A = this chain, B = another copy of it.
Amino acid sequence: MKATDNTGQNQSAHAIFTRYLHSKKMRKTPERFAILDRVAATDEHFSIEDFYDGIESKGFHVSRATVYNTIQLLVDCGLVRCHRFGNSSSKYEFVEAGTSHHHLICTKCGRIREVKDPDIAKVLKAKRYSTFNTSYFSLYVYGICSRCSRKARTQKANLK
């Protein structure tokens, strides 16, 4: 399981979620916390379907509707981010407090690479947009990945 400390305040994801649910007068159900636990234990991007299959295989049953609902709550309270790459289904990731990364997306093969980029993160964090209360950023860099570049070079060479 990953660490879930939050910006030095040492609040666990559980505590954040509990506080969020409380503030919205929503119920603290076992399904919601089971889903949070499993999300927090997942290092990769996952789709709802991935997640649904995964949690079933661990012997815990929740309906798809509850997965959709709960993941959305986690997005709303900032514990999870949603990405919609290419034309595939929504992908989610647990937010490791205090960290940040961007995504390099290959427009040829669709492969996603994560990059930590403190320089850009710093510039973005310093940015203020008038009358807009920023909470976070998503930066997507589109281009051709090394594998596809290599493939293209090889094909070109073979044509000669």
Contact = CB atoms under 8 A, between A and B. Distances in A.
A132 B120 contact: no
Contact of A137 (B90, B119, B135, B142): B142
Interface in A56-91: 76, 84, 87, 90
Interface size class on chain A is 20 to 34
A137 B127 CA distance: 17
A134 B123 contact: no
A68 B115 CA distance: 31
A140 B142 CA distance: 14
B149 A142 contact: no
A133 interface: yes
A93 B18 CA distance: 40
A146 interface: yes
A142 B146 contact: no
Nearest to A90: B87
Interface in A107-160: 107, 113, 115, 117, 119-120, 123-124, 127, 129, 131-146, 149
Contacts of A143: 132-136
Given A129-B141, A136-B143, A137-B142, 16 more contacts: A87-B90, A104-B132, A104-B134, A113-B132, A119-B123, A120-B127, A124-B139, A132-B144, A133-B145, A135-B142, A135-B143, A137-B139, A138-B140, A138-B142, A139-B139, A139-B140
